[in-house]
Amino acid sequence: MIVTAAAWACATSAALPADPPTCSGTETLCGADLCTNLQTNTAHCGACTLACKTGEVCDKGKCSKSCGTTLTACSGGCVDKLNDPKNCGNCGVQCKSGNVCFQGACVSSCGKDGVLCPSQGDAGNAYCANTASDTVNCGACNKKCAVAQACQSGKCVDNCGVGSTLCQDQDGGAPYCAITDTDNANCGACGAPCTAGQVCSMGTCGTNCGGMETLCVGTDAGISDGGAPFCAKTDTDNANCGGCLVACAQGQQCVASKCQTACAPGLTACGNQCIDITASRDNCGGCGKACLQNSIKCTNGVCQ
C-alpha cells in the first residue's frame, strides 16, 4: 500500500508531543503539564518532588504545622488572602479574568503602591506586585532577583547581611551568601576550603567548633559536601537559622535565630514586603494601617 505524503503528515502529526504550558510568574512547571505554586502546594512544596506529610501545610515553600501570622491555610497551602487571586478575601474566592486581588477584594487595577503584572498563561492569575520590594518582580513585572539577592527600591542588590560574604559558585552557578567564619568551603575567604575531616571555626580550619557555634552535618552554604560536619552560628546563619539545616527563605535574614524579612534602612517588613510606612497609604504609620478612601496621601505616617 502506498501512503501519500498528506496521509503520512496526518498520521505523524497526532503523535507529536504537545507544547508545554506557559506558567505564570508565581508558578513553576512540574513534569510535562502541571503549573503549580511551589510556595503553597502541599504536594509540591518548595520543589516539584517534595510533598508535605499529612496534617502539614505548605508555608512559603516549606512544610509546617501551621501558617505564618499574615497567611491563611486554604486547601493545605498558606496563602495571602489580601493578594491571592484564587483566594481573594476568603478561601476559594477566585477573581474573574482581567481582575486582580488587591487588599482582599477583586479589582480591575492596583493601588498606588502596586503594579499590575499579568501572568504569561492565564489572565485570571494577574496580580498586584510592589516592584520596589518584590524579588520576583523587581523594578518591573517578572524581573527576578538572584537567590542571594533582595529587591530594594526596585533594584536587585546583594543581601548577605552582617557577617556574610557574597561568593561565586565554583561550578559557575548563581552567587550565594557564605559566612566565612564557619563555612567549610569558604573558610576565612571565598574559595578557601578546609581539608577532609576539618571544620571551619572563626575563619580558621580546625577540628572543633567554637563556644558560640553548633556542629552540624549535611550541606553547607549551598555546596554539596557529602555530609561532612561543619560549624554554624545558628543565631545569624541564613542556612541554619535556629537549628542545623533550617534555611531562611529568599529575601529573609536570620536575626536572633529567627528568619525575618531583610529590609533596607528606612523600610519596614510588612509580611514579605519592605514598606515605607511613612508614605504608604495601605500601611500608614504601621503594617496594615490603611488610610480611608477620602484620605489623599500618607505623610510622615499620618493619613491626610
- pLDDT tens for each residue of 286-297: 887 877 766 667
Q: Which of 289, 180, 298 is nearest to 233 (CA)?
A: 180
Q: What is the pLDDT of residue 182?
A: 86
Q: Are residues 229 and 277 in the same domain?
A: no
62 in a domain, yes or no? no
Q: Are residues 166 and 257 in the same domain?
A: yes
Above 80 in pLDDT, residue 38? yes
Q: Are residues 303 and 236 in the same domain?
A: no
Residue with the bigger pLDDT between 206 and 157: it is 206
DSSP state of 207: S
Q: Are residues 201 and 248 in the same domain?
A: yes
Share of the chain above pLDDT 90, in %: 1
Above 80 in pLDDT, residue 259? yes
12 in a domain, yes or no? no
Average pLDDT across the chain, whole number: 75
Q: Are residues 208 and 250 in the same domain?
A: yes
Residue 233's domain spans which residues? 161-261
115 in a domain, yes or no? no
9 in a domain, yes or no? no
Q: Are residues 213 and 175 in the same domain?
A: yes
204 in a domain, yes or no? yes
114 in a domain, yes or no? no
Q: What is the pLDDT of residue 271?
A: 66
DSSP state of 123: G
Above 80 in pLDDT, residue 208? yes
Number of structural domains (the chain) is 2
φ/ψ of 166, rounded to 5, equals -80, 120
Above 60 in pLDDT, residue 151? yes
Q: Is residue 79 within 8 Å of residue 57, measured between CB atoms?
A: no
Q: Are residues 197 and 255 in the same domain?
A: yes
Q: What is the pLDDT of residue 125?
A: 56
C-alpha cell at 247: 534555611
213 in a domain, yes or no? yes
Q: What is the pLDDT of residue 184?
A: 84
Q: Is residue 104 within 8 Å of residue 78, measured between CB atoms?
A: no
Q: Are residues 247 and 205 in the same domain?
A: yes
Q: Are residues 216 and 274 in the same domain?
A: no
Residue 126 binned pLDDT confidence (cut-offs 50, 70, 90):
low
pTM for this model (two decimals): 0.39
275 in a domain, yes or no? yes
Residue 128 binned pLDDT confidence (cut-offs 50, 70, 90):
confident
Q: Are residues 248 and 287 in the same domain?
A: no
Q: Which of 109-123, 167-181, 212-226 has the highest mean pLDDT?
A: 167-181
Q: Are residues 256 and 271 in the same domain?
A: no
